[in-house]
Amino acid sequence: MTHSVMMPDRPAQLFADLGKRAVPSQTMAFLNYYRANTIYPNDKPVAALLLTAPPNGMSASLDDEFVRSESRRFSDMLGLDRGIVERMTDYTILDPGYFAGFGAVGGALYGAPAPWWRSGPFHTPGYSSPLTPWLWRVGSSVHPGGGIPAVLGGVLIATRRMLRKIR
């Protein structure tokens, strides 16, 4: 398995847009690649591109300008001669309602925080479902915090603060 995080040119602008529940001009994406017959029940390799979307509960499609422009940007980042969308043989779009059912406010993993009664020890959603045993939930959907990106973001903030004190 290969997992990559691709960042926007201006992370602070993404953070501001998500806080306003507005569609950002650029977003952060997770690109996951699985060899055939490993995690997903199929005989072909699977690539999953997950775009960080605002917690506004809106659905998207491959025809949306946001999805098209970000898919093209990430295709360019990866050096693909044809775009990610043009290479697809099949796809599934996970609706915001799916993620909202597991505690993601507005159906997005980043943005407005959950109320206190859905955080910390009170937040106990399952890591998997009997209906989709091949799909495992990670990050803020199953534990307090935002997973590895939130941890790395915290490291960046702490490092910046430490470097300011040294100067």
Question: Domain span at residue 40?
Answer: 2-166
What's residue 70's pLDDT? 92
pLDDT, one tens digit for every residue, the chain (167 residues): 588 888 899 988 988 887 788 888 998 888 888 888 887 677 888 888 888 877 777 888 889 899 899 999 999 998 988 888 888 888 878 777 777 776 666 766 665 555 666 655 555 556 667 777 666 665 555 544 455 665 566 566 667 766 776 76
- How far apart CA 137 and CA 126 sit, in angstroms, is 8
CB 48 within 8 A of CB 60: no
Considering only CA atoms, which of 81, 60, 84, 80 is closest in space to residue 71? Answer: 84
Look at the chain and report how many structural domains it folds into.
1
What's residue 144's pLDDT? 47
